[in-house]
Amino acid sequence: MPTLTRAEAAERASVVDVEEYHVDLDLTADGDTFRSCTVVRFRARAGAATFLEFEPVEVVSMTLNGQPVPASASTGTRLELTGLAERNELVVDAVMRYSNNGEGLHRYVDPADRSVYLYQHLFINNAGRVLPSFDQSDLKASFRVSVTAPPDWTVATNGRLVSRDGGRWEFAPTKRISTYLASLIAGPYHVLTDEHDGIPLALYARAALAEHLEAEAPELFELTKQCLDRFHEIFDIRYPFEHYQQAFAPEFNFGAMEYPGLVVFRDEMIPRSAVTESEREHRATVIAHEMAHMWFGDLVTMKWWDDLWLNESFAEYLGTRVAAEATRYRGTWTTFAMHRKAWGLRADQRPSTHPVAPERVADTDEALLNFDGISYAKGAAVLKQLVAWLGDEAFLAGLNAHFEAHAYGNATLADLLGALSKASGRDLSGWAEVWLRRAQVNTLRAEVSRDGANYAEVAVVQTAPSDYPTLRPHRVGIGLFDRVGGAVVRRRRLDVELDASGRTVIAELAGEPVADLLLLNDGDLTYAKIRLDADSAAAVPMLLPLIDDSLARAVIWAATLDAVVDGERPVAELVTLVLAALPMETEVVLVEDVLRATRGLVDRYATPETRPAALELVAQAADRLLAASPPGESRQLAAARGLIGATIDVARLRGWLAGEDVPRGLAVDADLRWLIVYRLSVLGAADHDTIDAELDSDRSASGEQWAARCRAALPDPAAKETAWAAVVGDASLSNRLAELTAAGFWQPEQLELLDAYAERYFAEMPAMMGVRSGMSAERTALAAYPDVAVCDRTRQLAAALLARPELNPILRRVVQDADDDMRRALNARG
């Protein structure tokens, strides 16, 4: 895919103003290509030259204002035009190629029934893979789409369906949208429809998932209606497009994408096996997140990618908020504190850190890399802090003024800050400078001195990394918790303002009786790393299970895990806490995240000598939780998954596959069976025949993906060589299969077998970046990284690769960040 620079985009926007695309696609041919006939109508500066993104397999014909365009104008990635008129009509007939990497028009063959499914994903700079286009966010236009497809297919786009005649579909023109938001799905999709408040609703999924879509539809429609109602309560402008359709597509790169009128989700969100309540909550939050984009991103779009936060930070904040306010999933802020913020904090401390709102994003390659925990989670946490400071009424008033001023157009950071400042009566320039324009994170520590049984002084000390020395104003909660009988109660909570001086004395606590636990950031109002005072930290193992506020427990768990990541506390101490406290944890997202994070830290921070014992304690914690969980409850499933991932009890795992000694209420369904087979594969207790037999009984998309991961995990030299060759060189392997093969490859139990592949990663991964592209390349490179080969040699190999000036920027960022994680692991072992 071609790179577009910021300078090129600004120059092109000064030359052209796009009015309409009429895209006519013929999807009836077999093979890996399709026909695209496009009419582009646009205004321009008379006599000027410009270009469109365009990546054809074959050009059939091209005319500009009725005159032929020479074939040499198409360079393979761009279409160069000269001698423009004030009003122009470009007509291009071309053959284009389907993709298997989730970009352009992705083609998927369902292994369940061999049906073909398509979805269009033009994200950032892939519109040229489907049509010639001015592919930048501030050149909005109306899209009118026509499609010829097999007669048994269903087709849907952003626009409303006008007519259908057999396999011929005609759609109404859309409102003005950016090119990356043009959406389309096609194939024998199963469709369910509904309506709410005058808005037509629809759900789409593959035919193989029809039964599961039918089962999930009542909740999906309910969530959609609840979120629409809540957004209509807080926003003055109603839902700004004609219909609200949601499609669940195979091998989708993102969790979901906010195409106006036709949101696309990865189809794992239509579960075929048992899932936990936290997974259902996650889906609800994603639905709310994508709906928030209808205003932040679709109605008002960032002018250029340096304002990505106007899309993702706001959708992350509002998605979490609206799901909590409008749906039955009231605990989304607990999940945010435990899971999403941890993603942001880790991203913010890596070498690739960047401001929430960078001054400049040079090109679309850099823009892709900024779709990370900073643009999403940190930005959302910063907005939560802003709301606590401004007040909700002023915040929402500013947002509504922003929408009114820029509807169906583009906006910048300055535009939004101006609206918020006017609504609140506060100058936000200083706030924006320290929170949005400067990278990295502060650490807040409680500093306590006593006078007998009372506090003599409580202060909050704020620090910053030496390379990023910014101190910030924070609004934080401070909770005082005491043990009373068999419970822990919050005696008092103060909301206080911390200035940027570095040390703030909390005068209100002088003379207050000392609490059993003093919790900084109670309520999770601010974005910072939290460290407890020594006495509170020592009390955590006894008090944590007894605190009835799940958000407070999330803050404590997150701070504990972060201290281990930073090497301030040993992984052995974490494992001991998990064994003591997790079996009594009632919030399933905390169970899942603590088990997942602890397992990852044990795999990398424990030495090969200490890892088996640490892993056994994790397995014991999961087993105790399993025994304590009511049958059929989410905690039971989460505990079972954690146990399967940590245990080395092969006989027990095989027994569960055979239906023996399975805990009452636990369904060993398709996905749990695969998880067991995967663990057996890692342990060398399964082989190709085992995997093939499981796949024979589960010829599905999920089964195919699980089988690929299991084969890569086998401790067999031939299996490893086959998997590695597929990851680094097999262009026919789809995005999801490549990522999952890479994800199964590295196992801490197999370090001796895998020794040579660490060196091969750094030697061969640059070539892989030519086989794959974009997000698929990034995720495959990250999954294939030798992160469990924790040694100085791995870091030396990384340094040598990073010294190459021509290194692909996506791979450079993957290796930089993974190497920083390796540095932390080595420090922790030391």
The tally of domains found in the chain comes to 4
Residue 2: per-residue pLDDT: 74
678: which 2 tokens?
């995967």
675: which 2 tokens?
């998880």
pLDDT in tens, 683-714: 999 999 999 999 999 999 999 999 999 999 99
Domain with 50 in it: 6-269
Q: Which of 403, 435, 467 is the last residue of a domain?
A: 435
Q: Which of 435, 465, 486 is the last residue of a domain?
A: 435
The answer to whether residue 739 sits within a structural domain is yes
pLDDT in tens, 362-375: 999 999 999 999 99
- The percent of residues above 70 in pLDDT, for the chain, comes to 100
Do both 421 and 454 map to the same domain?
A: no
Do both 422 and 446 map to the same domain?
A: no
Do both 356 and 503 map to the same domain?
A: no
* CB distance 252 to 267 below 8 Å: yes
DSSP string, 88-139: EEEEEEEEEE-BSSSSEEEEEE-TTT--EEEEEE-TTTTGGGTS-B--STTS
Do both 388 and 424 map to the same domain?
A: yes
Do both 117 and 61 map to the same domain?
A: yes
The residues pairing with 37 across neighbouring beta strands, listed in sequence order, are 24, 93
Do both 257 and 321 map to the same domain?
A: no
Supply φ then ψ for residue 328, to 5 degrees: -75, -10
- Please say if the pLDDT value at position 176 is more than 90: yes
The answer to whether residue 699 sits within a structural domain is no
Distance CA 462, CA 446 (A): 9
Do both 132 and 258 map to the same domain?
A: yes
Residue 658: per-residue pLDDT: 96
The answer to whether residue 60 sits within a structural domain is yes
* CB distance 72 to 59 below 8 Å: no
The arithmetic mean of pLDDT across residues 420-444, rounded, is 96
Q: How far is CA 649 from the centre of its chain?
A: 34
pLDDT in tens, 273-299: 999 999 999 999 999 999 999 999 999
Distance CA 322, CA 231 (A): 8
Distance CA 711, CA 35 (A): 37
The answer to whether residue 117 sits within a structural domain is yes
760: which 2 tokens?
């091969």
- Please say if the pLDDT value at position 54 is more than 70: yes
CA within 13 Å, CB half, 124: 25
User: Residue 371's domain is classified under what CATH number?
Assistant: 1.10.390.10
What CA–CA distances, in Å, run from 177 to 135, 141, 301, 614?
Answer: 11, 6, 8, 53
667: which 2 tokens?
């369904």
Neighbours of 775 (CB within 10 A): 21
User: Residue 215's domain is classified under what CATH number?
Assistant: 2.60.40.1730
- The percent of residues above 90 in pLDDT, for the chain, comes to 98
* CB distance 374 to 527 below 8 Å: no
Query: Hey, is 348 helix, strand or coil?
Result: helix
pLDDT in tens, 313-339: 999 999 999 999 999 999 999 999 999
The arithmetic mean of pLDDT across residues 259-271, rounded, is 97
The residues pairing with 192 across neighbouring beta strands, listed in sequence order, are 203
pLDDT in tens, 803-828: 999 999 999 999 999 999 999 999 99
Do both 151 and 230 map to the same domain?
A: yes
pTM, rounded to two decimals: 0.96
Residue 56: per-residue pLDDT: 98
* CB distance 135 to 193 below 8 Å: no
Q: Which of 412, 435, 458 is the last residue of a domain?
A: 435
Supply φ then ψ for residue 466, to 5 degrees: -65, -30
The arithmetic mean of pLDDT across residues 529-547, rounded, is 96
Residue 773: per-residue pLDDT: 87
- Please say if the pLDDT value at position 613 is more than 80: yes
> Which residues are annotated as catalytic?
290
Closest CA to 118 of 149, 145, 94, 159: 149
Neighbours of 503 (CB within 10 A): 13
The answer to whether residue 680 sits within a structural domain is no
- Please say if the pLDDT value at position 32 is more than 70: yes
- Helices and strands, number each (H, E), in the chain: 27, 28
For 97, residues 6+ apart whose C-beta sits below 8 A from its C-beta are 32, 33, 57, 104, 129
The arithmetic mean of pLDDT across residues 341-347, rounded, is 95
Do both 110 and 247 map to the same domain?
A: yes
Do both 119 and 265 map to the same domain?
A: yes
The answer to whether residue 290 sits within a structural domain is no
Radius of gyration for the chain, computed over Cα atoms and rounded to the nearest angstrom: 27
DSSP string, 162-192: EEEETTEEEEPPPSSB-GGG--EEEES-EEE
The answer to whether residue 294 sits within a structural domain is no
Q: What residue type is assigned to position 145 of the chain?
A: V
Q: In what order do the strands lie in the sheet with 529-531?
A: 503-505, 454-463, 443-451, 529-531
Query: Cα–Cα–Cα angle for 808, 811, 814, nearest 5°?
Result: 150
Q: What residue type is assigned to position 522 of the chain?
A: D
Distance CA 528, CA 478 (A): 14
- Please say if the pLDDT value at position 251 is more than 80: yes
Q: What residue type is assigned to position 822 of the chain?
A: M
- Please say if the pLDDT value at position 565 is more than 70: yes
Do both 532 and 456 map to the same domain?
A: yes
Closest CA to 441 of 391, 497, 503, 377: 377
- State which H helix or E strand residue 279 sits in: helix 277-293
The arithmetic mean of pLDDT across residues 400-429, rounded, is 96
- State which H helix or E strand residue 205 sits in: strand 199-205
* CB distance 197 to 228 below 8 Å: yes
Do both 393 and 453 map to the same domain?
A: no
- Please say if the pLDDT value at position 389 is more than 90: no
pLDDT in tens, 66-113: 999 999 999 999 999 999 999 999 999 999 999 999 999 999 999 999
Q: In what order do the strands lie in the sheet with 190-196?
A: 190-196, 199-205, 244-249, 262-266, 256-257
The answer to whether residue 631 sits within a structural domain is no
Return the DSSP state at 328: S
The arithmetic mean of pLDDT across residues 37-43, rounded, is 98
* CB distance 276 to 297 below 8 Å: no
- Please say if the pLDDT value at position 1 is more than 80: no
